[in-house]
Amino acid sequence: MLAAAILTCCATPVTAAADAGWPNGAKAAVVLTYDDALTSQLDHAVPVLDETGLKATFFLSNVRRGEAARWRSVARAGHELANHTVFHACPARTYPADPRYTTEAYTPSSMLTEIEQQNVLLTAIDGKVDHGFGTPCGNGLAGGKDYLAELRAGRTVAYIRHGEATAADARRRPGEIDMMGIPARSFPEGVTGRELIAYAREAEAGGGAAVFVFHGVAGEYLNVSAKAHRELLHWLAAHRRDVWVATLSEVAAWTQARSPRSR
């Protein structure tokens, strides 16, 4: 049911290339994703996205009091809101956190329940029934046990962003990407615009997809500078013909439609 739903989710009209590659003859796909519902994303990322006409995917968790209306506006502008759990539980060794909200304190069942509850919150914000999911801290364990297998089987979410992207992933064609395990790449603080653009060029050369993961933009934590972020977005806007910039649900839908299992 969810797989069928995401096939109709895309707001951007696209046409297939002759080789069943990316839409409108693009050489590659790029997805800009932002994690943790950070205020700096609202203040610094969204304005540049809207300025350049690019759409992104925001994985929300720990939504701040008073910012739900701002996220609703983001969704209305054509960006995607996705599930990053309610409390963003990570392994205790990752960073200091309330012991109740570390993955060691969860079970697969309680993690799945929290993901379902976050879907309810997202629907209250954006009005959509189906949402994708990104694993907090890239972790697929709860209480030391895998919860992703059950999440995939239950189809509670439309897709799962999980795993660090490799050079091989930049060469995967549509239909070769597992939408229940979409790899992505995060970057250290201090990354330059040139380094960010290099990842997009990697996908462009390989014919695959580059999924970016950002946290803070011009502030907060794991932040990318306003300058580097702007340089990437302006480069992408200038290369629209060769690089298809879309939300993760759009890329998942395009990929799913070309999967051998869908034929």
Structure tokens at 29: 């796909």
Structure tokens at 172: 């995967």
Give domain status of residue 10, yes or no. Answer: no
Between 1 and 118, name the one with better pLDDT: 118
Q: What is the mean pLDDT of the chain?
A: 92
Report which of 176, 179, 82, 77 is spatially closest to residue 121, judged by C-alpha positions: 82
DSSP 225: P
Contact 98, 122 (CB under 8 A): no
**What residue numbers bound the domain in which 224 lies?**
25-258
Place of tokens 């209480």: 143
3-class secondary structure, 98: coil
Number of domains composing the chain = 1
Structure tokens at 260: 């051998």
Instruction: Inform me whether the pLDDT recorded for 5 exceeds 60.
Output: no
Q: Residue 58 — very low, low, confident or very high, per pLDDT cuts 50/70/90?
A: very high
- The set of residues, in sequence order, having a beta carbon less than 8 Å from that of 256 and lying 6+ positions away, is 3, 6, 7, 179, 262
Give domain status of residue 124, yes or no. Answer: yes
Helix/strand/coil percent split, the chain, to 5: 40, 15, 40
Give domain status of residue 151, yes or no. Answer: yes
pTM over 0.85: yes
pLDDT at 261: 60
Instruction: Inform me whether the pLDDT recorded for 6 exceeds 50.
Output: no
d(CA 245, CA 223): 21
pLDDT in tens, 61-115: 999 999 999 999 999 999 999 999 999 999 999 988 999 999 999 999 999 999 9
pLDDT at 1: 36
Q: Residue 20 — very low, low, confident or very high, per pLDDT cuts 50/70/90?
A: low
**Segment (H or E) for 91:** none
Contact 216, 195 (CB under 8 A): no
Instruction: Inform me whether the pLDDT recorded for 211 exceeds 70.
Output: yes
Instruction: Inform me whether the pLDDT recorded for 15 exceeds 50.
Output: no
Give domain status of residue 41, yes or no. Answer: yes
The maximal CA–CA distance of the chain, rounded, in angstroms, is 53
pLDDT at 175: 87
Structure tokens at 250: 């759009």
CATH number at residue 178: 3.20.20.370
pLDDT at 259: 72
Give domain status of residue 7, yes or no. Answer: no
pLDDT in tens, 154-181: 989 999 999 999 999 999 999 899 999 9
Contact 79, 54 (CB under 8 A): no
